Amino acid sequence: MGEIRSGILIVASSAFFSFILMAMLISRTPWMTDADGLAVAWLLLATAPLVHELAHRTVFRRYGVEAEIASPLGMLLSFGGAVRVPEPVDQKIALKGAVAGPLATLAYTVAALALSQLFKPASLAAIVLSVTVIASGAPLSTDARYMSLRWRIALIAVGAALMALAVYNAAHLIKYG
């Protein structure tokens, strides 16, 4: 069931990103000729899930918990808990491990926003990545099951603020180039 959910999330993410690219085409933005920028946006989006899951695994392993990658497919899709942790785990360690992934994605979002000044399509990657930060704090996410309500609300709030900033940034770049 987890891999079906992962597939659905990937298709939804791809549709969202495609919608943004289609809006760029309709607005006749010169971004579509910016091959370097599109490559940077793709690289950010392609590597963020891997870094997210490796951040979980690294923190758990630092504390001696034998966290493993669930499957090669889970690592490729890496949405919905590709890292498996044996139960029971100390609650403080579980929280640190659970928060590590969204914090890595948060860092990627900030990097995408910074890179968008050089590579405009990176602002689109920032929008998608900020949505994944919000999703990490959602009550039904695998990251959130080890987090307190405060952590979940903080992730959702920071993700929403970054998303608003990323949308404003993208709109400004589209309008003023």
Residue by residue, DSSP assigns 78-105 as --S--EE-PSP--HHHHHHHHHHHHHHH
Amino acid at 110: V
Better-scored residue on pLDDT, 79 or 108: 108
88: pLDDT strictly greater than 70: yes
Max distance between CA atoms of the chain, in angstroms, equals 54
Which pLDDT score is estimated for 9?
A: 59
- Asked if 150 and 43 touch (Cβ cutoff 8 Å), the reply is no
Cβ within 8 Å of residue 29, ≥6 positions away:
174, 177
pLDDT for the residue 46: 77
Report field, pTM of the whole predicted structure over 0.85: no
Q: How much is the CA Rg of the chain, to the nearest whole Å?
A: 17
Give yes or no for a contact between 79 and 52, defined as CB atoms under 8 angstroms apart: no
**Does residue 75 register a pLDDT over 60?**
no
Q: Which residues of 139-163 are buried (b: 16+ CB within 10 A; e: fewer)?
A: eebbbbebbeeebbeebbebbeebb
* Crossing angle for the helix pair 149-176 and 122-137, to the nearest 10 degrees: 160
Between the alpha carbon of residue 9 and those of residues 4, 13, 77, 112, the distances in Å are: 9, 6, 9, 21
pLDDT in tens, 43-61: 887 788 878 888 888 898 8
- Residue pair 133/53 in contact (Cβ under 8 Å)? The answer is no
Tell me: pLDDT of 127 over 50. yes
pLDDT in tens, 100-116: 989 999 999 999 999 98
**In this predicted structure, what is the pLDDT of residue 32?**
62
Mean per-residue pLDDT of the chain: 79
Mean pLDDT of 157-164: 93
| Paired tokens of 107 | 């860092």
Question: Could you give the CA distance from residue 151 to residue 157 in angstroms, rounded to a whole number?
Answer: 10
